[in-house]
Amino acid sequence: MALVVLLGGLVALAAAAPLLGRALGRTSCLVLAGGLAAATALVAALVPGVVAGRDVVASTPWLPSLGVDAALRLDGVALVFVLVALVVGVLVLAYCARYLDDAEAAGPVPAVLVLFAAAMCGLVMADDLVLLYVCWEITTVCSFVLVSTAGAPATAPGRQALVVTVAGGLALLLAVVLVVVATGSTSVHALVSDPDRLLSSPLAGPVAALVVVAAATKSAQLPFQAWLPGAMVAMTPVSAYLHAATMVKAGVYLLVRTSAVFAGQPAWTAVLVSLGLTTALVGAVLALREHDLKGVLAYSTVSQLGLLVAAVGVGTPEALAAALLHTVAHALFKATLFMLVGIVDHETGSRDVRDLAGLRRVMPWTAAATGVAALSLGGVPPLLGFVSKEYLYEGFLTAGPAAWAGPVAVGVAVLASTLTLAYAARVAHGAFGGEELSHPGLHEPSPLFLAPGAVAALACAVLGPAVSWLSPLVEAATSAALPGEEAPEVYLWHGVTPQLVLSGVTLALGALLFVRRDAVDRVLQAWSPPSASAAFERGHAGLLRLGEVVGRPDRAGGAPAQLARLLVAVVVVAALAAVGLGPQPERLVSEDPVAWGVVVLAAGVLAAAALTRSSLVLVALGGTTGLLVAVWLLLRGALDVAITLLLVEVLTAVVLVLVLRGQPRRLPRTSARRALPVAATAAATGLAAGGAAWALTGRRPLSDVGAQVLAEAEPLTGGTNVVNVVLVDLRGLDTFLETVVVGVVALGLVVLGRGPAGRRTGPPGPDPVTEDLVLRVGTRLLAPLMVVLGAYLLWRGHDEPGGGFIAALVLGTAVALGHLAGGRAPFARTPRALRPSLLVGGGLLVALGTGLVPLLGGGALLAPFDLPLLGALGVTSALVFDVGVLLLVLGLAVAAVHSLDAGVPDAGRADEQRRATRPHRDADGEAGDDDGDGERDDARVRGTAGGRR
């Protein structure tokens, strides 16, 4: 239960963040930090049990038919990453309380940071592969949203980060599918407890490769590293959280978690160690080459992640313990450095080390905290970074089965760490050392602004000598990562060991590079490394060009050609199916003369629609065809479908009339050369569709599934309208996802109906076409009745024909009538409750909330349940879900009616405008001027047309 409370509380806190931001301004970030601190305290209370080997578990069925559970497990590995995400989250949100202004605090950044923490906690605690994948993708979306808050400069980096990490997510999804195929289970605990189930399958190799790709994209390993330095365009709190605790650590977690399966496999070790050490070395060189402090830290993250990946790849208990300890150390010193660099940027307006020097004189506390964090990054004793670096060296010495593998691996690690010390010293000395430059007005930041970074720096200093405090946590995590292996104890002094000697070599060489920094800088600046970002952009542009070439045939000829290709494809498929069609059962032929009469009428109306040249008549005839089909369905007993089709035809006719208001009333003539192929395609398509209906319907009795639904619908759900029961109860998830699509379309229509400034387009003033007294009076009489009818259909939908969809169509028709009766003026006064965005958002919340309630009681998603008190009045969970459907569909109807009418000239004026734009001709047939000024009046014509536009 504690894990559910943890995640639920974080999600609720994220939902409340915008409201808190509007009410409290940037002080709300302190409230959010307090919420994460409470979550940290909850996890801290679970630490003794987890360290003792008692995992905390919570599970409930999620997709029972697929064997998927919403399962959470807090073991040693998850505990390390949860604490990192929460503790750094507390510090970053407290930092936001002074970094952000009130407007930014009311924006998306604080809310998404909290959601990021929730997603990261869900990812590392997920005990089901499907849940792990879902949380993995949520972290991707959160990072993209946070990077995108930087505005236009973040467009390209945000796109790059999204493409790379989504590609990794697809690799992870495929790995999950292969694991399920190989083992028959989605349980993470079952996978790591019995790795032979996967290793004995031929799919083990592809799964391992896909896991490496997923982790490499998330943790910015070569060749996918470019997105992480590009993401530094985000504001400092975002960079601090993304680089220190969340996004990039997800890939490391995935590798640690799967080490129980793949550790010790030669290919796994070779790939991860070589990949990680290469990334560490390249990242360190690029960091040393940078002058932007944030750029140095970004490439430093790439380098440090490479060391972590390589250590995980070694796969021994010593290497895994080192990776877990360095994960904690990296989170602390990297969060500190990003926050303090943000303070320097905030105070001086620059992050370039060439413009900064001597700040220690005016910002001594900031300088001290930065120095501690930078020295911890460089591995200087006795700080925490030194201890974790020594354990990394010890782990690399055990790398690989070959005798030379360990020395080579540790040699590359020493070289990367030497460069790390050089650029870490550059960060501290470049900003705070040397002679003071002229920075008038500079001062130490406020204590609250400095405190988060100072606390993390203090932790780096204290936890180095007191690293034994972390030993139980690291041991528990190592034991959970490698079940059955003995975890090493973590402490500061080991005596004179090979790793201590290597640390001394690292410090000496790093100090030498720092002393000779000018010469090193000249060498590095003379080198122009290939740009990974430029390579990505070239690849992206190439894909776009390829897509343009491939899609060129589909754009040729416009909409008619596109439609023709689709219809011809339908005909071809039908012809192939007809060739292989075997003997058919005896057909049940209707003998109802009325039904055949409706079919004949529909055929006649269709023929008339094909021949008419009036656009309005075409709309009317198309609607009439739909009405006749509704009558036929009514005769067949499909009352629900008939009512739905009837209302859809009415709304469609209204929307088409609105769209056609600015178009010519007469359709252009079509030449016989074009009409014949069109007619042939139409006839063939009609025959194909009719043949499919003839072959697939009316030839069998009631199916077993249909009989079962009819028999069990009422006992299972309490509803007697089987159509509504299927839509709302039995296939509720399908209905919910379909309504989500409806909501997306509605919001898309709202956006399309707006001009560049975000305001509705369209001509001002009255709309003479809609100033119809009969229409206005009729609407005043009918609208209230339609609202009552919609409510009645909604209420009875579970037991009689009706439901939320039909009720929404009735209400949408009322909205359409009101729009037609009042012209554009009513749109400007649209009640806030009828705004599409609110309708869609409210509908999603109601429908999703109704579906999630059963999970709290251990039931399935969207399972029907009884409502206390209201159940006695006939209010069921199905009715509440139907209310959500109603709001979503009504949102689409309102958006369609109002948005498709925006910016369209008044009906009947389009032809006048075309005539007005033709040059005036005098009696001689020459283009003339009406005012005798000797000039053609094109300007006046253009002005008139432009005014109407």
Assess whether pLDDT exceeds 90 at residue 418.
Answer: yes
If DSSP codes are grouped into helix, strand and coil, which group holds residue 187?
Answer: strand
The pTM of this model reads: 0.73
Name the least confident of 581-595, 689-703, 706-720, 871-885. Answer: 581-595
Residue 72's H or E segment, with its range, is: strand 68-74
- How far is residue 360's CA from residue 342's CA, in Å, rounded to a whole number? 16
Are the beta carbons of 424 and 303 closer than 8 angstroms?
Answer: no
Q: What is the pLDDT of residues 475-533, one digit of tens each?
A: 999 999 998 888 888 888 877 888 889 989 999 998 898 888 778 878 877 777 777 77
Residues comprising the chain, all counted: 949
Assess whether pLDDT exceeds 60 at residue 98.
Answer: yes
- How far is residue 866's CA from residue 803's CA, in Å, rounded to a whole number? 18
Mean pLDDT to the nearest integer, 736-760: 71
Query: What pLDDT band is residue 941 in, cutting at 50, 70 and 90?
Result: very low
Q: Looking at this protein, which amino acid is placed at residue 4?
A: V
Residue 68's H or E segment, with its range, is: strand 68-74
Q: How far apart are the first and last CA of the chain?
A: 61
- How far is residue 417's CA from residue 466's CA, in Å, rounded to a whole number? 23
Mean pLDDT to the nearest integer, 298-313: 92
Assess whether pLDDT exceeds 60 at residue 677.
Answer: yes
> SS3 letters for 505-561?
HHHHHHHHHHHCHHHHHHHHHHCCCCCHHHHHHHHHHHHHHHHHHHHHHHHCCHHHH
Q: Looking at this protein, which amino acid is placed at residue 673?
A: R
> SS3 letters for 657-701?
HHHHHHCCCECCCCCHHHHHHHHHHHHHHHHHHHHHHHHHCCCCC
φ, ψ of residue 895 in degrees (nearest 5): -65, -40
Q: What is the pLDDT of residues 462-491, one digit of tens each?
A: 998 999 999 999 999 999 999 888 888 888
Report which of residues 737 and 696 the model is more confident about: 737
Mean pLDDT to the nearest integer, 931-937: 39
What pLDDT does 903 receive?
Answer: 44
Residues 6+ apart with CB under 8 A from 228: 161, 220, 243, 248, 298, 301, 302
What pLDDT does 115 receive?
Answer: 93
Q: Which residue ranges make up each domain of the chain?
A: 263-540, 592-667, 717-903
Per the structure block, which two tokens stand in for 385? 């970074």
Assess whether pLDDT exceeds 60 at residue 771.
Answer: no
| Cβ burial, residue 921 (10 Å; 0-12/13-18/19+) | exposed
Q: What is the mean pLDDT of the chain?
A: 82
What pLDDT does 440 receive?
Answer: 63
Q: What is the pLDDT of residues 216-247, one digit of tens each?
A: 999 889 888 888 888 888 888 998 898 888 88
Assess whether pLDDT exceeds 70 at residue 288.
Answer: yes
Assess whether pLDDT exceeds 80 at residue 70.
Answer: yes
Assess whether pLDDT exceeds 60 at residue 17.
Answer: yes
Query: What pLDDT band is residue 122 in, cutting at 50, 70 and 90?
Result: very high
Query: What pLDDT band is residue 294 in, cutting at 50, 70 and 90?
Result: confident
What pLDDT does 800 receive?
Answer: 83
Query: What pLDDT band is residue 939 in, cutting at 50, 70 and 90?
Result: very low
Mean pLDDT to the nearest integer, 616-627: 87
Mean pLDDT to the nearest integer, 702-719: 80
